[in-house]
A and B are shown apart, each in its own frame.
Chain A
Amino acid sequence: MFLFIGRRLFQAAMVMLAVALIAFALFQYVGDPIANMVGQDTSVADREKLKEQLGLNDSILVQFGNFVANAVQGEFGKSYRLRKPVKELIGERFPATLELSLLSAFLALLVGIPMGVYTALRRDSWLAQGFMTLSLIGISLPTFLIGIFLILFFGVMLQWLPTFGRGEVVDLGWWTTGFLTASGWKSLIMPAITLAIFQMTLIVRLIRAEMLEVLRSDYIKFARARGLRENSISFVHALKNTLVPVITIIGLQIGSLIAFAIITESVFQWPGMGLLFIQAIEEVDIPIMSAYLLLIAFVFVLINLVVDILYYAIDPRLRMD
């Protein structure tokens, strides 16, 4: 047990170190940080002083150490473009991304799981076939196109929903939320659906495959032989075991939510972290890029660690070796 977790922790640390190296390399080799911080008319002496103050004359190893120490505290300096501390910028954008992701994950699970179960149980019905066709189309539709088509229909042609931004938000001091105003909800609908559709097609397919697998197993045959009602077999016996891999699904889910949130935010000009990151790439705004890089890596490492440990706790077979 401890060996298993220890090995996973070591692996997680290695990943973080590798990503930190990349982020550090970005700072080192892209542009001149001094030139990005001071004006044209700053004298050479002042620049040298600043360089010394920032520790840019230290050895690479010391600089990397400082970088990691700062990163752990969430300090990445100021954005080159927006002239504000990166910590503050990400803090401002974080609620927007989280609210969008939570709502769409909820939507995807709410619709995807019943659809997956249905397509497995009534495999040959026309409705199930229809769902499967829809999910193939869903996989072939890039997220940004779903967003654009939604904007075209509900934003431009019908003019029912706003096409960009978060609408009115309520500032709770430490958190800004769109959940408390009508315009906030209206702005949230299209981005949340856009982000949910890809997740949904994935969930439908995974649940269906898993359920078909379970339905073939011996204990289901035995339950039938005992004369249990079909409904209780499907929903009590089969579904329960289908839901075990849901941990993995949710793990994958959070990961791809982060990725696809970037795209969705860009389509709807949603003021979240993804949009911040995309703009940073376009402008080569290194502090934001490297902060986001490390943040994403951290979230992924954390999710994988939790999923692994949960698996270990749930599946006794893994504990055998």
Chain B
Amino acid sequence: MGEYLGDFWRRFFDSDIWWSFKSSPLVVGASIITFVMIFSSVFATYVAPYNPFDLAQFDLMDSLKAPVWMEGGSGKFWLGTDDQGRDVLSTILYGSRVSLLVGFMSVIFAMIIGIIIGLIAGYSGGWVDAVLMRIADVQLSFPAILIALLVDGVVRGLLPKGSHDDLAIYVLIVAIALSFWVQYARTVRSSAMVERTKEYVQAAQVIGLPQPLILLRHILPNVMGPVLVIATIQLALAVITEATLSFLGVGVPPTSPSLGTLIRVGNDYLFSGEWWITVFPGLALVILVLAVNILGDWLRDALNPKLR
């Protein structure tokens, strides 16, 4: 096993991908930023200076303090405090956690839906394929964010009003996933159509394997490459969509705020001069999305043999 792993790493450090990664400082920087942000939000409980949701840890007396380098700032709160005296840096770390959670979950969910529909459409062909791809085409003509907003709105309409805050995060994940599955479905379908005619699939059919097994164990591994590239790019989009919906007030509630919710709440204090409550979560969001976008663009080019 150890030998195998050593071999793996040697091959990895020898590969074109590692070389193209190493030779671009922008990509290295972006991946460091992405890693730091994911790490610090996952371990926010340990990294953040305060727990913004523990009532014992913040004090109304500390409210609306400016960042440390400004007049009225305090060394206790580097990025200042919000209207309730909570440390802005800590709320950003906890908020990124919610944003990233919704982002990852909705991308995974979208991926599952997209892969299943794509495999079925590409493998079976005929009218099943025609109907599924027509639906995909129709959905693709609407912007994803609009679909997410409409799904979110309709689901909220159908749920009893008191349960909105508790279920908000799930509603959000489903809404974003339902607006993002099409791209996976189209990619997987076209790869599956190619794979289906190959000899190893025919061999699997001949020995009588059941269809779901052929799809999952034999075709799926061969269509995963492009799927992962789409997933990286869509992670950035999903985080933006989540933030937008939360900003509009139809996303995550202020009791467990995401970056978007923090920006929405802070927006009210923009006019009275407390800009840091909204600007810092905003910057965190932009940096995160930009870093993931750069990584996604690079991954797409690095895995595309045509561009080498």
Chain A proximity of B296: nearest CB distance (Å): 11
Is the pair A156, B286 in contact by a Cβ cutoff of 8 Å? Answer: no
Within 8 A of A (CB), among B252-277: 263, 267, 270-271, 273, 275
Chain B proximity of A138: nearest CB distance (Å): 11
Give the docked Cα–Cα distance between A139 and B240 (Å).
10
Q: Is the interface of A mostly helix, strand, loop or mixed?
A: helix
Is the pair A286, B250 in contact by a Cβ cutoff of 8 Å? Answer: no
Q: Is B44 at the interface (CB under 8 A from chain A)? A: no
Give the docked Cα–Cα distance between A283 and B267 (Å).
21
Which residue from chain A places its CB closest to the CB of B282 in the assembled complex? A145
Q: Is B145 at the interface (CB under 8 A from chain A)? A: yes
Is the pair B156, A145 in contact by a Cβ cutoff of 8 Å? Answer: no
Is the pair A281, B293 in contact by a Cβ cutoff of 8 Å? Answer: no
Is the pair B275, A281 in contact by a Cβ cutoff of 8 Å? Answer: no
Within 8 A of B (CB), among A1-29: 11, 15, 22, 25-26, 29
Q: Is A318 at the interface (CB under 8 A from chain B)? A: no
Is the pair A281, B290 in contact by a Cβ cutoff of 8 Å? Answer: no
Q: Is A284 at the interface (CB under 8 A from chain B)? A: yes
Is the pair A296, B146 in contact by a Cβ cutoff of 8 Å? Answer: yes
Is the pair B157, A282 in contact by a Cβ cutoff of 8 Å? Answer: no
Given contacts A143-B244, A152-B270, A256-B143, contact A289 B157 (CB under 8 A): yes
Is the pair B141, A136 in contact by a Cβ cutoff of 8 Å? Answer: no
Task: Count A interface residues, CB 8 Å.
Answer: 42
Among candidates A148, A156, A255, residue contacting B141 with C-beta atoms closer than 8 Å: A255
Q: Is B285 at the interface (CB under 8 A from chain A)? A: yes
Q: Is A144 at the interface (CB under 8 A from chain B)? A: yes
Is the pair A142, B240 in contact by a Cβ cutoff of 8 Å? Answer: yes
Chain A proximity of B173: nearest CB distance (Å): 17
Among candidates A11, A15, A266, residue contacting B248 with C-beta atoms closer than 8 Å: A266
Is the pair A284, B247 in contact by a Cβ cutoff of 8 Å? Answer: no
Is the pair B141, A145 in contact by a Cβ cutoff of 8 Å? Answer: no
Is the pair B153, A156 in contact by a Cβ cutoff of 8 Å? Answer: no
Which residue from chain A places its CB closest to the CB of B139 in the assembled complex? A15
Give the docked Cα–Cα distance between A304 and B138 (Å).
9
Is the pair A263, B250 in contact by a Cβ cutoff of 8 Å? Answer: no
Is the pair B145, A259 in contact by a Cβ cutoff of 8 Å? Answer: yes
Which residue from chain A places its CB closest to the CB of B294 in the assembled complex? A136
Q: Is A161 at the interface (CB under 8 A from chain B)? A: no
CB-CB < 8 A to A284: which residues of B? Answer: 156-157, 161
Q: Is A211 at the interface (CB under 8 A from chain B)? A: no
Is the pair B290, A136 in contact by a Cβ cutoff of 8 Å? Answer: yes
CB-CB < 8 A to B267: which residues of A? Answer: 148
Given contacts A148-B263, A263-B244, A278-B248, contact A163 B286 (CB under 8 A): no
Given contacts A11-B138, A256-B143, A266-B248, contact A140 B156 (CB under 8 A): no
Give the docked Cα–Cα distance between A284 and B294 (Å).
39
Given contacts A15-B138, A145-B285, A284-B156, contact A262 B150 (CB under 8 A): no
Is the pair B146, A282 in contact by a Cβ cutoff of 8 Å? Answer: no
Give the docked Cα–Cα distance between A200 and B41 (Å).
33
Give the docked Cα–Cα distance between A25 and B158 (Å).
9
Given contacts A140-B293, A152-B279, contact A26 B286 (CB under 8 A): no
Within 8 A of A (CB), among B271-308: 271, 273, 275, 278-279, 282, 285-286, 289-290, 293-294, 297
Within 8 A of A (CB), among B160-182: 161
Is the pair A26, B154 in contact by a Cβ cutoff of 8 Å? Answer: yes
Q: Is A98 at the interface (CB under 8 A from chain B)? A: no
Q: Is B249 at the interface (CB under 8 A from chain A)? A: yes
Given contacts A149-B282, A259-B146, contact A11 B134 (CB under 8 A): yes
Which residue from chain B places its CB closest to the CB of A144 in the assembled complex? B247
CB-CB < 8 A to A15: which residues of B? Answer: 138
Within 8 A of B (CB), among A256-293: 256, 258-260, 262-263, 266, 277-278, 281-282, 284, 286, 289, 293
Chain B proximity of A274: nearest CB distance (Å): 10
Is the pair A142, B138 in contact by a Cβ cutoff of 8 Å? Answer: no
CB-CB < 8 A to A170: which residues of B? Answer: none
Is the pair B249, A148 in contact by a Cβ cutoff of 8 Å? Answer: no
Give the docked Cα–Cα distance between A259 and B149 (Å).
9
Given contacts A136-B293, A145-B282, contact A163 B244 (CB under 8 A): no
Is the pair B285, A300 in contact by a Cβ cutoff of 8 Å? Answer: no
Among candidates A142, A282, A296, residue contacting B249 with C-beta atoms closer than 8 Å: A282
Given contacts A144-B247, A145-B263, A156-B271, contact A139 B293 (CB under 8 A): yes
Is the pair A300, B141 in contact by a Cβ cutoff of 8 Å? Answer: yes
Is the pair A281, B138 in contact by a Cβ cutoff of 8 Å? Answer: no
Can you spell out 14 A-B residue pairs with CB atoms less than 8 angstroms apart?
A26-B157, A29-B158, A139-B293, A144-B243, A144-B248, A148-B267, A151-B270, A255-B146, A256-B146, A259-B145, A284-B161, A293-B150, A300-B141, A303-B141
Chain A interfacial positions (CB closer than 8 Å to B): 11, 15, 22, 25-26, 29-30, 136-137, 139-145, 148-149, 151-152, 156, 163, 255-256, 258-260, 262-263, 266, 277-278, 281-282, 284, 286, 289, 293, 296, 300, 303-304
Q: Closest 5 interchain pairs by CB?
A: A259-B146, A281-B153, A140-B290, A259-B143, A140-B289
